[in-house]
Structure 1
Amino acid sequence: MAKRSSLFIRIVEGKNLPAKDITGSSDPYCIVKVDNEPIIRTATVWKTLCPFWGEEYQVHLPPTFHAVAFYIMDEDALSRDDVIGKVCLTRDTLAAHPKGFSGWAHLTEVDPDEEVQGEIHLRLEVVPGTPAGRLRCSVLEARDLAPKDRNGASDPFVRVRYNGRTQETSIVKKSCYPRWNETFEFDLEEGAAGSLCVEAWDWDLVSRNDFLGKVVFNVQRLWAAQQEEGWFRLQPDQSKSRRGEGSLGSLQLEVRLRDETVLPSGCYQPLVQLLCREVKLGTQGPGKLIPLIEETTSTECRQEVATNLLKLFLGQGLAKDFLDLLFQLELGRTSEANTLFRSNSLASKSMESFLKVVGMRYLHGVLGPIIDRVFEEKKYVELDPSKVEVKDVGCSGLHRPQTEAEVLEQSAQTLRIHLGALLSALSRSVRACPAVVRATFRQLFRRVRERFPGAQHEAVQNVGNMDTPASRAKEAWMEPLQPTVRQGVAQLKDFITKLVDIEEKEELDLQRTLSLQAPPVKEGPLFIHRTKGKGPLMSSFKKLHFSLTTEALSFAKTPGSKKSALIKLANIRAAEKVEEKSFGSSHVMQVIYEDDAGKPQTVYLQCKCVNELNQWLSALRKVSISNPGLLGSYHPGVFRGDKWSCCHQKDKSDLGCDKTRSRVTLQEWNDPLDHDLEAQLICRHLLGVEAALREKHRELSAGTEAGSVHTGPGEAPEDALAQLLQVLQDLQEAHRSGPASLPPSEPHRPGPLQT
């Protein structure tokens, strides 16, 4: 068994934010942190106190994470960005909302004494003696402390307090990964009463010391245990009063935590085989399990179930057969061709998921360059006269503010150019469309033609209702785009016709050709840091175009030039972030690997933003997850001169002062299918509707006993349903009896202990 946790996050909008700029407005964006680790940054919404983002993300995490926090920031061009406020949701809070947290949350003040992070390694012992013995506290080391100084580090020391006495460790300069190995002793009170407080602080020469976190121990518990050792998570000081709720505005969020215990692959084989058999037999199948699943699935979770089924059958090579079965079911209950896929059916939801999962890479390749160009140009566009802001446009070539009419005309022209480019690119991309999409569309076309032979041309509906009298009357100011829209509708109808007109042999040849072309997992420009002498130089880097495939991480001078392999995929041992102070940037990652001679090497790559950094880390971690010899720890700094910049150790081969985060990844559209997880999600859903399935089985069995005769091939429908119920019962029993395996602890350090 394996435990997996994931977070679905939707950052919707903010309202009533305080003004941070002299203009009386703000330029807000949101940073998402999981256990103080920045994972996501939204776009900046300029000049508003009520921003709308509507951005969605999914993050895979270890089951041991503690909290997710949303920081609303105000972007400043000339100074450090201002913190407006935050919303923090603990793991316990999310676990208490099985359907997810959804709604508005008040922003709270960001108190430096609460912005703590990291863990401290302690050994606590009770030493027998008179009259009550002695309490010995060994402060060994700490990791991932909050950087409080401008150099991106801290000068930490530890203060240990018990029974009115205080003792302190030495100060470790410029490190968030200090090692002390110092021991303190205290005389115990009679009866071992009171508490032991261990506090971490950042020393400052001029200003007051900064609080880094604390751990409090019950001495009576220590007396009973006699000895405890481990990594303890630093806790904030929450004794201060807060500002009034709502004074910093609110944030609308949707956050859903999902914990799954995934069984070994073999456990799911009976379920997968049973569902695959039903799909292969189609509407003639004995059990008709797919219609039963649709019948017992509520509207609110139908999209999720459709996506899980679609991914499962994609992994089995049966996506086309699955969709064809749904097409037939949909057509059987549809009376008019132009109402197909308009309902909230399993067919419509599965088709939507199919196009997203299979067609997203195709759309990125065809439309991506045009959309990137739109964003790069950053042209002001507004067709609604009631919303035109002339001041946002600047001056025309005559050095005077543009009139409203000029703004509207320029906006219409810009939109015509962009819309025309998008439609033309799509209409020319028939051969780039994935073969499985073309085959599925052709099969749908055939089924529709069989069901509605006299309305075959009506089956190609108006594209998005863009060219109807109702749409023109609703928003009259869209009229300037109508010629382009009408031309686009004709282009798309021609595109769909060509899409379904491919010959079978031609499709097979195309599919074979495409299967030989392994598309990159991720690619794009990065800065590579060069090394010289005993360590990397602070400002020595070069911009290159990198490409990550299932074989290697390669680079080239330009996207079109010949690539040179940098790292073989099988040789990667870890992909992690680098401390900001190492290169003066918080967007640097390191890839630790072995060269052909088996020697450990490290390459440092700089990204342009936190999103790009986490996307690359996620991609590297996912493609190397099965590599042997993955590291459990690493150095977040660099080895410069004669020591590591993070923990100041002088041994270059030291195992590392921080734990790796290989299980933290982002869910993306081009992720490989996880067959076991999809089977588990389907299993979980079916167990949730097991009562309805059993009731259906009783109805079918009663019908057979009353004299109904089964004339189809194979066993009766109730027999297939009985098999499904038995499979679900076996899976439920496997979950109850099998021990869940937690993430392995680091081999060279004690595992974390809960205080």
Structure 2
Amino acid sequence: MAWSLGDQVRTIEKLAVIFGEAKNLPPKGSCNADSGRDVYCSLRLDQEEIYRTSVFEKTLNPFIAEQFRCDIPRDFHLLNIYVNEREKVSNKDKVIGRVSLSRGDILKFHAKEHWFNIEPVDADSEVQGKIHLFLALQHFQNGLQLSSIHPLSEEELFRSGAETRLVLRIAECCDLNTIRGYCDPYAVVALYRDNVKVDQKRTKALRKTSRPSFEETFDFFLPRDWDRFEVKVSLYHDVQLGSSVFLGEVRLGCSAAELRQQEPVSAWYYLGPREEFSKKNNYPELGALRLKLHFTSDTVFPSSTYDQLRQLIVSSWQVQPITCSAAYIISQLVPAGGKEAITPLVRVLSETKQIVKFLRAVAEHEMSNTSDATTLFRGNSLLSRCVDEFMKFVGMQYLQSTLRSLIDRVLSERKPCEIDPTKLSDEAKQLPINTQNLKSYADEAFEAITKSAAECPPILRELFNALKRLAAKRFPKNSRTQYSVVSVFVFLRFFAAAILNPKLFDLCPPQRSVDPQANRTLTLISKVVQSVGNLTSKNVEASRARVGERQNFVPYKEEYMWRFYSQFLNESHPQKVTSFLEMISSNLKTISALPRESNNSSPPVVLKQGSLTKRAQNRNKLGLKQFKKRYFFLTSKALCYSKNKDGNPLCEIPLDEVLGVERLREESFRLNNVLQIVQPSGILYIQCNNCVEEQEWLDLLRRLTASNRHKVQAFHPDAFINGEWLCCRSRFEGERGCSPVSRTELGAQVDLDRELERLHSLVISNWNNFEALTENCDTILNSQSQGTLGGLRAWQDDFTLSTSFESSVASNSGTSTLTDTLNNNLENGDVARTPTYIQEDVNKTADELRAMTVSGRKTSFEIDDARSMKVALMALAKCAKELENWHRRYRDYQKTGTVRGTKQAPISLEDNYIVMKPVLSSQASHKR
């Protein structure tokens, strides 16, 4: 492997926040303890808002029940969850309080549900950003600086009468808070001794930048009797006709003796709140917020590093039995049903075109262990979870084209559809109207689904066809099963689930609020869709004649749902469902003969939409009015925008005309999160609302334009303003770009290296389960044939896997390393020795041992074939060792190339020091 550790290594972080509920929020008025508030929560990376929940009206104990997931595209210091009150009159929302979590806090509460106290907020605590400082002691005699090449001792300095000065250079800052969209920062440097200010100096103010480059140096005289002192660097936003706004500060406790003995300090520091605020402890009671956090950080190496693991996963479908394959084992090692492992497994197998083969093998295994066809795939089995994830992964555009218009109607029209008489104030008047409203929506959903067969992705049809054939083979006497195995996925787990939770399936923007009435309507529609999925001409003969036989027809628990369903159902429904299921599970050779429902008047499928700020095109002068809010729509064919969501398009850009999509540097317009879309006619600049949204638009646009012809190979990272490109200073507007475009994988839907690293991280973080499974395999093999294991166990003498791990991130982080680095070597073919074991289960029969499960270590695992399972575990262990060795080398390399002050030191998440970018050295370069 001929790559250096300093190259092509990425760190990818992912965050998921599940909002549970808030309780005991303070009442709005001091006089009325029961007065509720209109509250919502907002999620921020430092001070940048990336998500906002729905508003919950007139309550002090809102039940939120929302979740948000994203990749984190930038470095951050604090994760802040604000509890806000909406003010309808003033239109200026009020902050009730916040929960503020450092990276260390996030890791401590990873995957745990916890009640967090809500703390107060004021201007002195609302800080973010970093500052780069240089700090050193210099000695002067007769106005001349003494040489640092041959430093004098303290005694020599004292005898010579040399003067000691503290030299501090403020280099630059980044990610500072903006005040009304701008930041005019300046810094104040103060020297303290015994909490008494001795001297103070300040920089000049820089205009309109959150990334100021000060490059100013200050020196302070230090008396000889000073040993310990403190330097405080404070940042402010300059207000010309008022008081400056505090942006944050850094306090450095220093020792003159230590500074004399080391090289000058050069490091980044996080800005913190005022010391006075951080020392407060008499907070008022503001309630608590229940959250569940998931945070992963994976260090991703180049593709060749994962060759062995990739081969094991990709070839899993060929292993017999399938339960002994690498993919199956990894999914079973992870607690909570293996949820964390399902997504990377499905994506790796999908990208390598092996997903249908693997799912077919898993389905065959599960069918062979099922005797009752009515319960097939109804549980939360591995196949069910994989197919769920696979349908979401490849079927999102299909889902959008089928249900997006219905969801938009329900959310915008807000028609009452409640049919539960116990929830109606006037049943006689409301029930007929609500029933008709619900029937209208249910009819639309049913027609949209049953007419969408031709739009179903071919890969899903191939999977459904495989499942139908397996069901027909396993249950030849039950002709209904071949349809039910398809309907349970496509109706129950796909369409009905998407209607029930449209945000989770991208059927409505995350920022769009779903009020309780619309949410109830979606729930009722989802119930109907679930039920019609059970209707086929095979299992519902003479359906109208059976309406009275509840127990043999549709399993509704609620009386009101049964009454509605009896009105909704007609003779054509079973035949339409049967026809739809037959079409989406047909042999692919007959797909071209399927009839297509065409509707030329229907709008194109919208893949992403939202309100963004754009810069007017073909303007030469910079002005505030050039940037305007517009509502953008991105389809598979074009990017267009209008004045508002319902307005007519003002501009439409065909995607096949896009020459490139890149980020724009902040310096051009003093704005963050700006993208540039390069076209033959010019460049369109659009500003996204936050860094997460920017990354989502960038990734989607790049993926949709990846195969475009004539794409540019270079671009300008800055804009053309006042007659010149700010990046290269060329005055020719048509000048070729001065920077190479970002490298993208053409047509790649999946970052394979990232997904493989995630699987490796899950194996490492669940190594206790791995060892438990290994031990049980050994017990079974010893019972079956004592002394004749041939060598399946001999490897462990030379390859002991430790259960203790070191981790610089989370327990399931990709930067984990085994304490013993998984020991020395795994010698293939060294099978001469068979160790002796303490056998606790020698009295058990072979059948009992074969059926035993691993439990007590957060997992349960059935062992079908201990010998094949052991071979697979050995192969996985070998991959784990190879990858963990690379993680260990990379951590050592980071330590070697990291300057924290002047000391070589490990990275500490709780320390205020920030890692400087490692400089590659010959000592830190490792090759395989």
TM-score normalised by the chain length of structure 2: 0.64
- CA shift at 1:692, angstroms? 3.3
User: Which of residues 750, 755, 759 is equivalent to 1:673?
Assistant: 750
User: Which of residues 209, 214, 219 is equivalent to 2:249?
Assistant: 214
- CA shift at 1:159, angstroms? 1.7
Change (3 A) 1:24 1:480: farther
Q: Superposed, which structure 2 residues align to 1:317-328 within 5 Å?
A: 317-328=353-364
What letter is aligned with 1:535? L
Given that residues 8 and 255 in structure 1 are in contact (C-alpha distance below 8 angstroms), is that contact kept between their aligned partners in structure 2? yes
Change (3 A) 1:242 1:430: farther
The total of aligned residue pairs comes to: 690
- Cα-to-partner distance string for 1:252-306 (whole Å, 9 max, x where unaligned): 21111112222322232222223333403565x7955556556x53551422223
Q: Tell me how large the CA RMSD over aligned residues is.
A: 4.7
Given that residues 186 and 205 in structure 2 are in contact (C-alpha distance below 8 angstroms), is that contact kept between their aligned partners in structure 1? yes
- What secondary structure, in the 3-state scheme, does the structure 2 residue paired with 1:112 have? coil
Change (3 A) 1:563 1:441: same
- What secondary structure, in the 3-state scheme, does the structure 1 residue paired with 2:315 have? helix
C-alpha distance in 1 between matches for 2:914 and 2:641: 48
Q: Percent identity?
A: 25
C-alpha distance in 2 between matches for 1:56 and 1:578: 35
Q: Superposed, which structure 2 residues align to 1:125-140 within 5 Å?
A: 125-129=136-140, 131-140=162-171
C-alpha distance in 1 between matches for 2:610 and 2:174: 32
- What secondary structure, in the 3-state scheme, does the structure 2 residue paired with 1:535 have? coil
Structure whose CA Rg is larger: 2
What corresponds to 1:657 in structure 2?
none
- Cα-to-partner distance string for 1:22-43 (whole Å, 9 max, x where unaligned): 9933222222111222222222
C-alpha distance in 2 between matches for 1:643 and 1:591: 19
What corresponds to 1:354 in structure 2?
390
What corresponds to 1:170 in structure 2?
204
Q: Superposed, which structure 2 residues align to 1:412-423 within 5 Å?
A: 412-423=435-446
- What secondary structure, in the 3-state scheme, does the structure 1 residue paired with 2:189 have? strand
User: Which of residues 312, 317, 320 is equivalent to 1:279?
Assistant: 317
What corresponds to 2:674 in structure 1?
590
What letter is aligned with 1:692? A
- CA shift at 1:231, angstroms? 4.0
- CA shift at 1:20, angstroms? 4.6
Change (3 A) 1:630 1:247: farther
User: Which of residues 166, 174, 184 is equivalent to 2:218?
Assistant: 184
What corresponds to 1:305 in structure 2?
341
- CA shift at 1:499, angstroms? 3.5
What corresponds to 1:199 in structure 2?
234
- CA shift at 1:339, angstroms? 0.7
What letter is aligned with 2:137? V
What letter is aligned with 2:273? P
Tell which has more relative contact order, 1 or 2 (C-alpha 8 A, sep 6+): 1
C-alpha distance in 2 between matches for 1:474 and 1:576: 59
- Cα-to-partner distance string for 1:77-98 (whole Å, 9 max, x where unaligned): 442111121111110112234x
What corresponds to 2:558 in structure 1?
475
1:692 paired with 2:772, answer: yes
- CA shift at 1:112, angstroms? 1.2
- CA shift at 1:593, angstroms? 6.3
Change (3 A) 1:61 1:115: same
C-alpha distance in 2 between matches for 1:358 and 1:717: 31
Change (3 A) 1:25 1:472: farther
- CA shift at 1:320, angstroms? 0.8
Given that residues 430 and 495 in structure 1 are in contact (C-alpha distance below 8 angstroms), is that contact kept between their aligned partners in structure 2? no
What corresponds to 2:352 in structure 1?
316
- What secondary structure, in the 3-state scheme, does the structure 2 residue paired with 1:370 have? helix
C-alpha distance in 1 between matches for 2:875 and 2:59: 58
What corresponds to 1:730 in structure 2?
882
C-alpha distance in 2 between matches for 1:682 and 1:611: 24
What letter is aligned with 2:757? Q
What letter is aligned with 1:94? I
1:494 paired with 2:578, answer: yes
Change (3 A) 1:611 1:20: farther
Change (3 A) 1:421 1:102: same
User: Which of residues 168, 181, 205 is equivalent to 1:152?
Assistant: 181
C-alpha distance in 2 between matches for 1:133 and 1:642: 50
What corresponds to 1:438 in structure 2?
461
What letter is aligned with 2:409? R
C-alpha distance in 2 between matches for 1:562 and 1:204: 42
- Of residues 153-162 and 440-449 in structure 1, the stretch that sits farther from structure 2 once superposed is 153-162
In structure 2, runs of 5+ residues without a counterpart are 1-8, 141-160, 193-197, 493-529, 533-548, 595-603, 643-647, 732-740, 791-866, 898-911, 916-928
Given that residues 528 and 604 in structure 1 are in contact (C-alpha distance below 8 angstroms), is that contact kept between their aligned partners in structure 2? yes
User: Which of residues 74, 96, 100 is equivalent to 2:108?
Assistant: 96
C-alpha distance in 1 between matches for 2:664 and 2:477: 59
C-alpha distance in 1 between matches for 2:717 and 2:267: 19
Change (3 A) 1:683 1:693: farther
1:111 paired with 2:84, answer: no
What corresponds to 1:70 in structure 2?
81
- Cα-to-partner distance string for 1:610-669 (whole Å, 9 max, x where unaligned): 9866642554577899999999x978xx9977999xxx999899xxxxxxxx99xxxxxx
Given that residues 119 and 234 in structure 1 are in contact (C-alpha distance below 8 angstroms), is that contact kept between their aligned partners in structure 2? yes
1:616 paired with 2:697, answer: yes
What letter is aligned with 1:277? S
Given that residues 231 and 253 in structure 2 are in contact (C-alpha distance below 8 angstroms), is that contact kept between their aligned partners in structure 1? yes
- Of residues 67-76 and 689-698 in structure 1, the stretch that sits farther from structure 2 once superposed is 689-698
C-alpha distance in 1 between matches for 2:616 and 2:260: 54
- Of residues 8-17 and 217-226 in structure 1, the stretch that sits farther from structure 2 once superposed is 217-226
- CA shift at 1:367, angstroms? 0.4
User: Which of residues 277, 284, 289 is equivalent to 1:251?
Assistant: 289
In structure 1, runs of 5+ residues without a counterpart are 390-402, 511-517, 583-587, 654-661, 664-669, 710-714, 746-751
- CA shift at 1:55, angstroms? 2.5
Q: Superposed, which structure 2 residues align to 1:567-716 within 5 Å?
A: 568=658, 571-574=660-663, 589-592=673-676, 603-605=684-686, 615-617=696-698, 619=700, 672-687=749-764, 688=767, 689-699=769-779, 701-702=781-782, 703=784
Change (3 A) 1:62 1:422: closer
Change (3 A) 1:74 1:315: same
- What secondary structure, in the 3-state scheme, does the structure 2 residue paired with 1:108 have? coil
Given that residues 640 and 651 in structure 2 are in contact (C-alpha distance below 8 angstroms), is that contact kept between their aligned partners in structure 1? no
What corresponds to 2:914 in structure 1?
754
Change (3 A) 1:226 1:275: closer
What corresponds to 1:161 in structure 2?
190
